Chains A and B, each alone.
Chain A
Amino acid sequence: MNQNRGFTLVEVLVVLVLVGLVLSTAVFVLWHSSETGLWGVAQAEKTKDLAQTVWFLQNQLEGIYQKFALRRQGSQILIGFLTTCGEKYPGIVQVRYRVEGGRIYYCESPYPHGKLFSCPEGDERLLLEVSNFEVEAYNNSWQTNFTGVPQKVRLLINGLPVVAQVGTRLSLR
């Protein structure tokens, strides 16, 4: 009897189908896990950016010094103030937050610089992309446009409520 006979067509087909099934399952699982992994990384980045921005903004608002203004101009919200908590410069700094089209932009200048909402060309940078942004300043009542030094500033960033009690922080450095 010949011991070295080959495989029949049916055997080869069955093996091919089985190998195909195993491989397609493995590829699907790997592809799905890679998509999930990328999604997880993006979510983690978003959470980190939101945490950093909110912490930074709250500190700056708590360190407001003498001047603050909140204004809505068309589709943009402008928040300008002097603060003891700068990012680039030590001491008192003048900052401007501009929110437009679901994006928060930040500009910082050493004090004194100029008008409160002014920003040197090229100094503005994108801070965060947001799905919703609300801001109000409090001085006996909540106001959506404000000039002066408020007692409190309330923000809602991506559903996160942030309250800054003005004057509770002198400096971060």
Chain B
Amino acid sequence: MKERGFTLIEVLVALVILATVLVAFLRLQGQAIESQRRASVLLEGVYRLDAWLKGEVQGLPVKERLSSLKEWPIKVHRYALNLGNQEIVFYRYEPK
């Protein structure tokens, strides 16, 4: 039986596949950590906005917009807190 080793091409292809898989894995991990960070920021934002609406936190850059629904006897208050690339929005409904 003729015994021969791997050719350079075979080794290089294997290394490229291994590197691709590792890079994909590392990117996935990076995305998971980024998602965790976003969740933490969102959690803090939600409670800060909630406290702001209850008058317990000042100086929050909240954008407020009032609108009303034509066929419904209600007014809609929209409160938006911008957190860079994310936005937290609360709606408050009240009778007209």
* A residues apposed to B, CB below 8 Å: 26, 29-30, 33, 36-37, 40, 43-44, 47, 50-51, 54, 152, 154, 159-163, 165
- Which applies to chain B's interface (DSSP): helix, strand, loop or mixed? helix
A and B contact pairs by CB, cutoff 8 A, 18 listed? A29-B22, A37-B32, A40-B32, A43-B40, A44-B36, A44-B39, A47-B39, A54-B43, A54-B47, A159-B44, A160-B43, A160-B44, A160-B47, A161-B47, A161-B51, A161-B56, A161-B57, A162-B50
Give the interface centre of B36, B39, B50, B51 by most chain A CB atoms within 10 Å.
B36
Summed over the interface, the residue pairs from A and B with CB atoms below 8 Å come to a total of 49
**Nearest residue, chain B, Cβ from A142:** B56
The answer to whether A162 touches B51, judged by C-beta atoms less than 8 angstroms apart, is: yes
The answer to whether A37 touches B29, judged by C-beta atoms less than 8 angstroms apart, is: yes
Q: How far is the CB of B30 from chain A (nearest CB, A)?
A: 9
The answer to whether A165 touches B54, judged by C-beta atoms less than 8 angstroms apart, is: yes
Does residue B33 face the partner (Cβ distance < 8 Å to A)?
A: yes
**Nearest residue, chain B, Cβ from A161:** B51
The answer to whether B51 touches A163, judged by C-beta atoms less than 8 angstroms apart, is: yes
The contact size tier of chain B is 10 to 19
Does residue B12 face the partner (Cβ distance < 8 Å to A)?
A: no
Does residue B88 face the partner (Cβ distance < 8 Å to A)?
A: no
A47-B43, A51-B43, A160-B44 known; A40 and B36 CB under 8 Å?
yes
Residues of B within 8 A of A152 (CB): 54, 56
Q: How far is the CB of B61 from chain A (nearest CB, A)?
A: 16
The answer to whether A33 touches B40, judged by C-beta atoms less than 8 angstroms apart, is: no
